[in-house]
């Protein structure tokens, strides 16, 4: 059954005081985690509620460093800053030695760790690492089709595609243009989002997760899912990447047509929420389903709505802010971890990947915490308590 605005508004709202309490609970858990996760990073998802230590690999380690920076902002405690700075050195080494970076997720990795370090403390190694990462990402730009190739070796015909998640990698390029004065980074990002919007948005305003591009003509060919339930369904986190990704490009480009795109993609997300406002992992599933939830999708969408509300007319801004406050309250109530003995994560009930007939994923991190869910939950809470200056 379609969700309505009245349905969303019937969930209790929240105020800055409640957000601050939830943020304090999260910061206390982060503090306890520093001993294990300073010289190591957190695994992408928890196992039976607990993250395991890993090296600086995969696309997800920047979220934990971003969480530490948010804890530093919330408290001013130098222990957080010192831990985050140790991790910035790890990111510099990672990009210099090109460790596990043959993919497009440079924004997820370097915006929240290294750009954050530079913006918050003027850390020059953070700036250096993030600019190297922007250069590396720029190498994935394909002139034929005007997009950033997500995965695999660049130019590989079987991998000639973009994915919706990449919208969150674009701010690294916008930032690189601002810092260097070289427009080429931002132009690639602008071209990428134009191509992406041409192909991933369906007529009903749901989105494809991934879309192939013809390597000869540069024209979009067909969309398929990677992590969604069906090729034609809306993977909840993919739709959320769309919500926040469009808002972030609007922040940098102020392209008027993105307002309409944002509203369409976000309204689809809101209309397909179940009664308790915590999305199932794919919008094929609704209230009463026994399928797992993906709390991280809600946290990402909340951040996107709070960001975009800054630029909308009063009526629409109020609508998205009200929806975001209810969703965040639902996350605090139903998914916020209150007991470090039950989990060392911050946001329970996420899903990294769920096996289905039409995707190629194995079950991974099902009904577990994941590092990006934790990060966006903390970012959303931080946005509620102050006028937060973005790391993106
Ligand atoms: N960007 C990969 C994911 O959302 O799982």
pLDDT at 5: 87
Q: Pick from 11, 19, 17: which is nearest to 383 by CA?
A: 19
**Residue bearing the CA closest to ligand 1, atom 2:** 165
Q: Among the options 165, 294, 367, 374, which is catalytic?
A: 165
Is residue 11 a contact partner of residue 274, using CB atoms and an 8 Å limit?
no
Distance (Å) from CA 351 to ligand 1 centroid? 10
Is residue 373 a contact partner of residue 237, using CB atoms and an 8 Å limit?
no
Q: How far, in whole angstroms, is CA 126 from its chain's centroid?
A: 20
Is residue 192 a contact partner of residue 148, using CB atoms and an 8 Å limit?
yes
What's the sign of the alpha-carbon dihedral 270, 272, 277, 279? negative
**Residue bearing the CA closest to ligand 1, atom 1:** 165
| Those residues with Cβ within 8 angstroms of residue 113's Cβ, 6 or more apart along the chain or in another chain | 61, 62, 65, 66, 69, 84, 87, 88, 91, 126, 129
pLDDT at 375: 99
Is residue 228 a contact partner of residue 208, using CB atoms and an 8 Å limit?
no
Distance (Å) from CA 270 to ligand 1 centroid? 20
Distance (Å) from CA 103 to ligand 1 centroid? 12
Which of ligand 1's atoms lies nearest the C-alpha of 296? 4
Is residue 296 a contact partner of residue 237, using CB atoms and an 8 Å limit?
yes
Residue-level length of the chain: 392
For residue 204, indicate whether it is catalytic. no
**147-148 vs 141-142, strand pairing mode:** antiparallel
Eight-state DSSP code of residue 281: S
pLDDT at 1: 64
Neighbours of 367 (CB within 10 A): 18
Q: Residue-wise pLDDT tens for the chain (392 aa)?
A: 689 889 999 999 999 999 999 999 999 999 999 999 999 999 999 999 999 999 999 999 999 999 999 999 999 999 999 999 999 999 999 999 999 999 999 999 999 999 999 999 999 999 999 999 999 999 999 999 999 999 999 999 999 999 999 999 999 999 999 999 999 999 999 999 999 999 999 999 999 999 999 999 999 999 999 999 999 999 999 999 999 999 999 999 999 999 999 999 999 999 999 999 999 999 999 999 999 999 999 999 999 999 999 999 999 999 999 999 999 999 999 999 999 999 999 999 999 999 999 999 999 999 999 999 999 999 999 999 999 999 99
Q: Pick from 224, 186, 184, 182: which is nearest to 207 by CA?
A: 224
Ligand 1 lining (C-beta closer than 6 Å): 165, 227, 237
Neighbours of 175 (CB within 10 A): 27
Q: Among the options 15, 100, 105, 339, which is catalytic?
A: 105
Is residue 129 a contact partner of residue 92, using CB atoms and an 8 Å limit?
yes
Which of ligand 1's atoms lies nearest the C-alpha of 168? 1
């Amino acid at each position: 059954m379609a969700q309505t605005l009245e349905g969303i508004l019937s969930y209790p709202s929240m105020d800055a005081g409640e957000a601050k309490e939830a943020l304090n609970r999260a910061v206390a858990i982060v503090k306890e985690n520093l001993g294990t996760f300073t010289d190591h990073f957190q695994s992408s998802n928890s196992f039976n509620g607990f993250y395991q230590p890993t090296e600086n690999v995969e696309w997800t380690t920047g979220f934990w460093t971003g969480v530490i920076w948010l804890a530093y902002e919330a408290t001013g405690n130098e222990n957080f800053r010192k831990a985050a700075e140790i991790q910035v050195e790890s990111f510099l080494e990672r990009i210099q030695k090109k460790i596990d970076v043959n993919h497009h997720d440079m924004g997820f990795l370097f915006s929240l760790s290294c750009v954050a370090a530079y913006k918050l403390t003027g850390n020059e190694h953070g700036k250096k690492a993030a600019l190297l990462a922007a250069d590396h990402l720029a190498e994935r730009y394909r002139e034929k089709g005007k997009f950033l190739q997500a995965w695999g070796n660049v130019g590989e015909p079987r991998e000639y595609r973009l994915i919706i998640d990449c919208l969150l990698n674009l701010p690294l390029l916008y930032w690189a243009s601002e810092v260097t004065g070289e427009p080429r980074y931002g132009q690639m990002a602008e071209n990428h989002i134009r191509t992406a919007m041409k192909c991933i948005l369906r007529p009903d305003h749901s989105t494809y997760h991934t879309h192939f591009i013809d390597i000869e003509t540069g024209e979009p060919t067909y969309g398929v899912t990677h992590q969604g339930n069906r090729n034609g369904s809306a993977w909840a986190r993919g739709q959320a990447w769309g919500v926040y990704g469009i808002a972030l490009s609007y922040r940098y480009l102020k392209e008027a047509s993105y307002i309409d795109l944002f509203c369409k993609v976000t309204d689809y997300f809101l209309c397909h929420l179940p009664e308790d406002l915590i999305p199932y992992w794919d919008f094929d599933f609704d209230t009463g389903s026994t399928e797992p939830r993906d709390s991280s999708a809600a946290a990402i969408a909340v951040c996107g709505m709070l960001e975009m509300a800054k630029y909308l007319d009063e009526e629409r801004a109020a609508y998205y802010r009200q929806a975001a406050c209810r969703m965040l309250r639902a996350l605090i109530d139903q998914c916020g971890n209150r007991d470090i003995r039950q989990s060392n994560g911050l946001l329970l009930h996420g899903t990294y990947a769920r096996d289905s007939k039409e995707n190629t994923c194995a079950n991974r991190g099902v009904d577990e915490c994941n590092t990006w869910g934790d990060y966006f939950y903390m970012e959303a809470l931080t946005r509620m308590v102050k006028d937060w200056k973005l790391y993106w």
